[in-house]
Amino acid sequence: MILAPSIVWLRRDLRLADQAAFAAAAAAGPVIPVYVLDDETPRHRRMGAATRWWLHHSLASLDADLRAKGSRLILRRGRCEAVLAELARETGATTVHCLKHYEPWWRNAERAVGAALDLLRHDGNYLVPPGAITTGSGLPYKIYTPFWRALEARMPPPEPQPAPEHLAAPAAWPASDRLEDWNLLPTKPDWAGGMRAEWSPGEAGALQRLEAFTGRAKAYAARRNLPSVPGTSRLSPHLHFGEISPAAAWHATAMRGGSVGTFLGELGWRDYAQTVILQLPDYAGNPAREAFATFPWREDPAGLKAWQQGLTGYPIVDAGMRELWATGWMHNRVRMIAASFLIKHLLIDWREGERWFWDTLVDADYASNAVNWQWSAGTGVDSNMFVRIMAPLTQSPKFDAAGYIRQWVPELAHLDDSAIHDPEVRPRKYPPRIVGHAEARARALAAYAQWNAATKS
């Protein structure tokens, strides 16, 4: 008897190990793995340039891994429900397996696919299924700290499962697009040289990154805020694309001792962000605190451009923005400093920053990006107060960023540690500060006070 094949529908879950959709499909018979490049369903939330670069290499890596298992990756382009329905007709597939996704457009797509086909949805992209952690009254959490306490009480997650030894092929393989024809890589100009030097997309690259981090995981709390030293895991893009499961990251690090609990809390923050967008799907588009819809943000195209290009005259901010442009990633502490600078020093709407990060980050996760920006702006359900304004010229020496600045702002590389954070004499090629700190702080507080008074009148 010839078994009908099952389709594994892939999105941000590009791995074989600890991947429940592959495990279930492999147990049922022949498997057809498919990635659909769907730019129509997300509409304005289609992937940015940096994530498209990563996607190209991750898909190539997954196809190689599949071929080693006797399988291959099928590539199709279009709306997911139409493409998968056509593929099922072509191949006789009766079932589609996928991991659950929680971005609003993917939830809509899953409903559409489920209406047309037998769709079996599995968990596996988060420590627990988003929505499963609730308060005593059965409501989802809005604040991170009690959410994390409740999540931590349910840990550890199940042990990660190995990849299938073999994936049975269908009687005939359906046609596939050529990855090169999708034009995911930049060419004119090719701005991805720094990304190629920094990253190895794919499941093997994720495991290498995890192995490199485990040896220093116990010192995470002390080192994660120091941009000049290797203290963070740099797992975020691998986790975003599902090249490694959060359960695998948890089990590899949880027993390392020291301050590894701080890192585990960052894995919990990923789950928390998903809980937020389940409650507020348009979190990247609207402030959670509705009164902020009338906040008097400034229109400042020149300031926005200077921030994007790393030409603000604040070395720590400029170093972060240049690292982002070169590598598609920015150190977490510097992300907070750069975000605070845009929002409070320049009084530019946080959504401008969210959109820039969406296009330039290789780990541009809808939930985490939006939650982090609303935290910085003071507009989120759980956020920093707007009146708490980071001082870049204090943050930079506090977190020993001199080496980081030398790496990314070479105009200042000749300066010693006492001068590099805020040089009095500036090299000709490095700009003056686009706004003074005291001036910017006073302007932000005045705007907040005026808005706050207006909202209460």
Pairing outcome for strands 118-122 and 95-99: parallel
d(CA 2, CA 29): 9
**Residue 427: cis peptide before it, omega within 30 degrees of 0:** no
Q: Which residue has the tokens 């695998």?
A: 248
Residue 54 is among the residues annotated as catalytic for this protein: no
- Of the residues 152, 198, 266, 411, only one is catalytic, namely 266
Distances (CA, A) of 88 to 4, 85, 178, 202: 10, 5, 20, 27
Residue 439 is among the residues annotated as catalytic for this protein: no
The values of phi and psi at residue 153, to 5°, are: -65, -20
Q: Is the dihedral of CA 367, 370, 376, 380 positive or negative?
A: negative
Q: Are 15 and 202 contacting, i.e. CB atoms less than 8 angstroms apart?
A: no
- Of the residues 54, 148, 373, 375, only one is catalytic, namely 373
- Of the residues 40, 182, 325, 332, only one is catalytic, namely 332
208-226 residues labelled b (16+ CB within 10 A) or e (exposed): ebbeebeebbbbbeeebbb
Residue 350 is among the residues annotated as catalytic for this protein: yes
Q: Is the dihedral of CA 375, 380, 383, 386 positive or negative?
A: positive
- Of the residues 199, 307, 350, 408, only one is catalytic, namely 350
d(CA 6, CA 4): 7
- Of the residues 54, 148, 250, 297, only one is catalytic, namely 297
- Which are the contacts of 64, defined by CB distance < 8 A and separation ≥ 6? none
Residue 266 is among the residues annotated as catalytic for this protein: yes
Name the DSSP letter for residue 135.
Answer: -
Q: Which residue has the tokens 């320049």?
A: 346
Q: What is the DSSP string of 43-85?
A: GGG---HHHHHHHHHHHHHHHHHHHHTT---EEEES-HHHHHH
Residue 373 is among the residues annotated as catalytic for this protein: yes
d(CA 414, CA 399): 20
d(CA 426, CA 428): 6
Catalytic residues: 266, 269, 297, 332, 350, 373
